[in-house]
Amino acid sequence: MRTPLIVGNWKMHKTISEARLLARAIRDGAADVSHCQIVLAPPFTALAAVRPEIEGTPLLLAAQNVYWEPNGAFTGEVSVSMLQDAGCALVIVGHSERRQHFGETGETVNRKIRALLESPLQPIVCVGETLAQRESGDYFEIVAQQLRESLAGLTAQELLRIILAYEPVWAIGTGRTASPETAQEMHEAVRNAVSRHFDEGTARGIRILYGGSVKPENIGGLMNGPDIDGALVGGASLEAASFLSIIHYNSR
């Protein structure tokens, strides 16, 4: 049984005081939740503030990025050990905004995954197509290629430590959301790709999240998909009320 995961990616939002208040509100509002795991991914500057707010609760702390080198002259980067020391349990890698704006590639994502797998931290690995790729009809192959590059050289055992996230670029922050049918179709394709390159048991066991304008209004339909194991939530995770409504999808 794959436990659903709801991840709040705060991106470049929230000061330290704002992050502390938001984390506290989510913690209190999710105290009775048992049907899913909840993860908060604040900006680097707020990790230390959010940590004590959720420590001792089922909520987990995640970082939004990492560098693969353990230390060195890499101004502006953050290492695996730094994130582990900050209390993180998971790290998002290969987010479409990192690929689009900061030159992330399948090769760099793979290096980050390998660095994380040498630690207890769990990678959340993102893949997804742009609007042009969707309209060209090549989206299945585009996503399959991203998976091949990002997961190159990994064993099935290593893959089971990874969480995948399908996030169509055309639906991130645009208000456009893949229909539940479209999302399920792509999640099934991702799981089939994992099955082809690894094995069926690994494909059944891995969790695949959906990301892309997830809202309280569409979470229920999305989570009905048999291959959708949770959500990577952006804008709707920046307010406690909307994020809690998404978290409580199972009780509506």
**Three-class SS of residue 177?**
coil
* Percentage of residues in the chain having pLDDT higher than 90: 85
Q: Which domain holds residue 182?
A: 5-251
Segment 92-136, tens digit of pLDDT? 999 999 998 999 999 999 999 999 999 999 999 999 988 888 888
Q: Rounded to an integer, what distance in angstroms lies between the CA atom of residue 214 and that of residue 236?
A: 7
Mean pLDDT value across residues 25-47? 97
Model's pTM, two decimal places? 0.95
Kindly report each contact of residues 13-16 with a partner whose C-beta sits within 8 Å and lies 24 or more positions away, as own/partner.
13/43, 13/238, 14/42, 14/43, 14/46, 14/238, 15/45, 15/46, 16/45, 16/46, 16/49
- The CATH number assigned to the domain holding 201 equals 3.20.20.70
Give the type of residue at 45.
T
Domain tally for the chain? 1
Q: Rounded to an integer, what distance in angstroms lies between the CA atom of residue 247 and that of residue 126?
A: 21
Q: Under a CB-based contact definition with an 8 Å cutoff, are residues 198 and 156 in contact? A: yes
- Residues that are catalytic: 95, 167
For residue 223 the two structure tokens come to 């989570």
Q: Rounded to an integer, what distance in angstroms lies between the CA atom of residue 165 and that of residue 189?
A: 13
Determine which of 1-15, 159-173, 218-232 has the lowest per-residue pLDDT on average: 159-173
Q: Under a CB-based contact definition with an 8 Å cutoff, are residues 220 and 9 in contact? A: no
